[in-house]
């Protein structure tokens, strides 16, 4: 079973030992999205939601999620993150609006930050849903995926669109 890095000789889960890995700068960028109706979109951009500033709260949730990824994903190493950023871009559809979310996470360490970026992007989508679900429970959280990563033994990754 040695080909599976998170499985020990008895076939049980383990955290990979990264002691021998090189310390490098590592960055990962992840994407997620949530599609909302025009009423929710208007509340978000006008800052009139009764629960507060939706995007500001969601951005903080994304940062907190990245910092706490090891607490919720069992095999993730706790990492000293050196930077976290969350950016938003609206896309108008025929009868709805999609909020595209991009989370960028960086560290200088022995293992990558892909899971932290993916967790951040997902937490942002979930927070927008939570803050606006009183208006519409039919919102759709879209695909969440890794856009790019750099650093480490496996080198660069860039998602092809």
Indicate the DSSP class of residue 124: H
Structure tokens at 9: 């000789």
Indicate the DSSP class of residue 107: E
Closest to 88 (Cα-Cα) out of 121, 130, 126, 39: 121
Q: How far apart are CA 13 and CA 15, in angstroms?
A: 7
Q: Is 130 a catalytic residue?
A: yes
Q: Give the contacts of 124 (CB within 8 A, at least 6 positions apart).
A: 32, 58, 59, 61, 62, 65, 86, 101, 103
Instruction: Pick the catalytic residue from 46, 71, 85, 130.
Output: 130
Instruction: Answer positive or negative: Cα dihedral of 117, 121, 127, 130.
Output: negative
Catalytic residues: 130
């Amino acid at each position: 079973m040695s080909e599976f890095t998170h499985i020990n000789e008895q076939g049980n889960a383990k955290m990979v030992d990264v002691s021998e890995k090189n310390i490098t700068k590592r960055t990962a960028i992840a994407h997620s999205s949530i599609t909302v109706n025009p009423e929710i979109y208007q509340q978000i951009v006008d800052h009139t939601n009764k629960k507060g500033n939706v995007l500001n709260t969601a951005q903080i949730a994304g940062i907190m999620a990245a910092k706490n990824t090891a607490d919720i994903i069992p095999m993730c190493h706790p990492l000293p993150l050196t930077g976290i950023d969350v950016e938003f871009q609206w896309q108008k559809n025929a009868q709805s609006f999609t909020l595209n979310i991009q989370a960028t996470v960086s560290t200088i360490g022995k293992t990558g930050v892909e899971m932290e970026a993916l967790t951040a992007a997902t937490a942002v989508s979930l927070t927008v849903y939570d803050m606006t679900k009183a208006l519409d429970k039919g919102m759709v959280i879209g695909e969440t995926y890794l856009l790019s990563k750099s650093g480490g033994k496996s080198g660069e990754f860039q998602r092809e669109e």
